[in-house]
Amino acid sequence: MANVLVVYHSQEYGNTAVMAEAVAEGLRAAGCDVDLFNTNEGRFDITRFPQYAGVAFGSPDYDGYLAGGLKTFLDDHYIYKVHTQLQGITGKPYVLFYSHGGGGKVKEALISVLKHYGIGALVAEPVGSHGRPTPQVQEQCISLGKLLAEAILT
Ligand SMILES: Cc1cc2nc3c(=O)[nH]c(=O)nc-3n(C[C@H](O)[C@H](O)[C@H](O)COP(=O)(O)O)c2cc1C
């Protein structure tokens, strides 16, 4: 069974965490195993990253950019990639989700940094939420998880 990582930062209201849970629900419904990791709760051990078949990244909008915890994850990934060249560190399908308070520029920041750091391929349009994720946004997140699973399993 494909193992998928949902890594996100959620701190202020838990908005991004609600989205992460919905993405995980979609992934599980499509037959994937899921690990959820909130970078507000610690630093992810990047040496575990090669085991995952795909990734969903989530962040709140912090001044038009991604949250520091998620950026640290991406920096660790980049350094690990450059210095180990381990198989399985790149080439992963991924999707993006974000929450914001009315801005939302983090979407472009996420797209740009993920592309630049060479994780793999973005396989679906990012899903955003203004404030608390509505039932409709949660459905979009479930669909996002299913789309990622499809890209991994087909
Ligand atoms: C330090 C900080 C900076 C923020 N900057 C922005 C911003 O520039 N634009 C915006 O739309 N929302 C901004 N917000 C609002 C958050 O993106 C929004 O409340 C988000 O849903 C919080 O996600 P969380 O509950 O998962 O932590 C900011 C919040 C914080 C705490």
pLDDT tens digit sequence for 9-48:
999 999 999 999 999 999 999 999 999 999 999 999 999 9
Q: What is the pLDDT of residue 154?
A: 87
Is CATH 3.30.930.10 the right assignment for the domain spanning 3-153? no
Confidence of residue 1 (pLDDT cuts 50, 70, 90): confident
d(CA 49, CA 143): 24
Q: How far is CA 89 from CA 22, 50, 98, in A?
A: 25, 5, 23
Q: Please check the confidence at residue 85 and state whether its pLDDT lies above 90.
A: no
Considering only the C-alpha atoms of the chain, give the largest distance between any 2 of them, rounded to a whole number of Å.
Answer: 43
| pLDDT, average across residues 125-135 | 98
Q: Please check the confidence at residue 113 and state whether its pLDDT lies above 90.
A: yes
What does the mean pLDDT of the chain come to? 96
Ligand 1 mean position, distance from CA 130 (Å)? 10
* Ligand 1 neighbours (beta carbon < 6 A): 10-17, 60-64, 99-104
| CB-CB contact of 125 with 97 (8 Å) | no
Ligand 1 mean position, distance from CA 134 (Å)? 17
For 147, left (φ over 0), alpha (ψ -120 to 50), or beta? alpha
- Residues of the chain above pLDDT 90, percent: 90
pTM for this prediction: 0.97
Length of the chain: 154
Parse the chain into domains and list their residue ranges: 3-153
Q: What is the pLDDT of residue 37?
A: 98
